[in-house]
Amino acid sequence: MKNAANFVIAILCCASIMCIDVDVFAQSNTAASPAVDELKALLDNKRPDLKHALLKLIDASAKDKNSYWHKRNSLEEFYRFLAAWRTYTPRTIAGAQDYSERFKSLYRSKGHDNKTYYSDDGISFMRDKDFTDWMQKFVRERGVFMDSKESAAAANRWVDDGTIDMSSYQIPAGGFASFNEFFTRRLKPGARPISDPNSAAALISPADCRVSPIPYALTSDRDFEVKGDTYNIAALLGSVELAERFAGGAAIVCLLYPKDYHRFHAPVTGTIAAKGSLDDRHYYHGFKGLVKYFSEYHRAYYLINTKNSGQVGFVAIGMSDINSVNMPLPVDARKEIRKGDEIGYFAYGGSGIVMLFEPGILKPSLPPDSKRGRSPTGSTLGAAAVDDPAGARLESVDPSGRAAGFGLQKGDVVRRINGRTVNGAASFRKAVSAVAPDAPVSIHVLRDGREATIDREAASYVGRFVRMGTRIGTLSTK
């Protein structure tokens, strides 16, 4: 077994890794899938050894009575699972990663020491080229579904039930035509004011995201770590030559959550000097060390020439599930893009942005009154709880507080937190405060009348949540 100390868990689907142990097949259309049929043919006709390896993983997972696969230990159940995943649209924010987490449980488990382990057999299976090639086809098929009208119901349910405050967004007449139309929704004019729009020195956040400056000088060709995540700017840009410009400089990392606005905007005023798209893989396996996180996923970049502050690298990264990155603007040295102009968007999947700056240019300055990101290390509880016979019922949940970072939702009745019984609102507050910053958490709740367990990995990344257009730094003159 591989210890997670060697393969640190990266943040999944916009930073939150969680698993809800209720069946969600009923929420998905299990119609025939060409990709699933292709996998059956691959395993039956070409790779019986791979079929045997998959069965071995399923059997191993099924031995755990708490495993999703405990009573689903057959290939037919696995194929049924894939068919349901292909057309899955999450009913809730917390459920966005349900299928990904179930899939990963075939090769990932938690030990008695609360550490996460990966099996050698699982790593070998996920690295097999035939399976990896097939997985890309499956994810693309899933992407087609998320663009279809059949996916629209879940998106419009999120709008109708108040899951997301839509007051800042344009809502099409008749509702959203697909989940991706909702996911890539547009802002109303003026919904995100641009800080210091005429100041070349003001750097703004390119998205609604969690922002964290990298506290190290960049190197062009060597790895370095920030809170558990590995960076290499030459690999990130696909070129040592391009990376040399930023050697000795600085970077800012931005992470987006499923609930966030998923279009991104120019952080500076300038012209697009170059662009590129790198690595068309569209699925994140979830083991760290074998994958160098930002530098090994589907990503695209702009290099933006500013008038006085050199070149700014803007790298958009698809981090999990379908992870589509769209950067439509052409290279045009004559056409100026203004700070705050829309320059691209992420369709459904995990999303991150890395901004690169030349040496001596960036001085980060996150606003002191910004709310913390949606992680367990948030500074406030962010939930109103009342006593309930079964525990503590949440009347409201602030998306910027610790409760939301744990994956809790309005209406949840919290029963236990890390084994600690919750017997009322005061007990709930004490149990939350007892969870150390960046520690893993397991919460037992009643959700929609059903028992559920939310397992949240320790946060390996903490960022400050800011809105697009907020000033996050000052740029010096070169």
| Cβ-proximal residues to 414 (8 Å cutoff; 6+ apart), any chain | 385, 391, 392, 393, 394, 408, 422, 428, 431, 443, 444, 445
CB distance 428 to 385 below 8 Å:
yes
Residues 67, 105, 119, 208: which is the catalytic one? 208
Sheet containing strand 342-346, edge to edge, reads 263-265, 342-346, 325-326
Rg (CA), the chain: 22
| Two tokens, residue 196 | 């210091």
Residues 98, 151, 178, 265: which is the catalytic one? 265
* CA–centroid distance for 462 within its chain: 13
Task: Calculate ∠ Cα 32-38-42, nearest 5°.
Answer: 145
Calpha distance 367→195 (Å, rounded): 11
Residues 178, 205, 351, 370: which is the catalytic one? 351
Task: Calculate ∠ Cα 396-401-407, nearest 5°.
Answer: 75
Paired with 244 in beta bridges are: none
Calpha distance 441→414 (Å, rounded): 13
3-class secondary structure, 214 = coil
What 8-state DSSP symbol labels residue 215?
-
In 238-393, alpha helices (H)? 240-244
**Is residue 208 annotated as part of the catalytic site, yes or no?**
yes
3-class secondary structure, 345 = strand
3-class secondary structure, 378 = coil
**Is residue 282 annotated as part of the catalytic site, yes or no?**
no
Bridge-based pairing of strands 18-20 and 250-256 is unpaired
E strand intervals along 263-406: 263-265, 270-278, 299-305, 311-318, 325-326, 332-337, 342-346, 351-357, 362-364, 383-388, 391-397
Task: Count how many Cα atoms sit within 13 Å of the Cα of residue 190 in the half-sphere of its side chain.
Answer: 0
**Is residue 375 annotated as part of the catalytic site, yes or no?**
no
Calpha distance 226→248 (Å, rounded): 16
Of 135, 136, 32, 131, nearest to 80 by C-alpha is: 32
DSSP states along 429-467: HHHHHTSPTT--EEEEEEETTEEEEEEEPPPS---EEE-
3-class secondary structure, 244 = helix
Supply the residues annotated as catalytic.
208, 265, 351
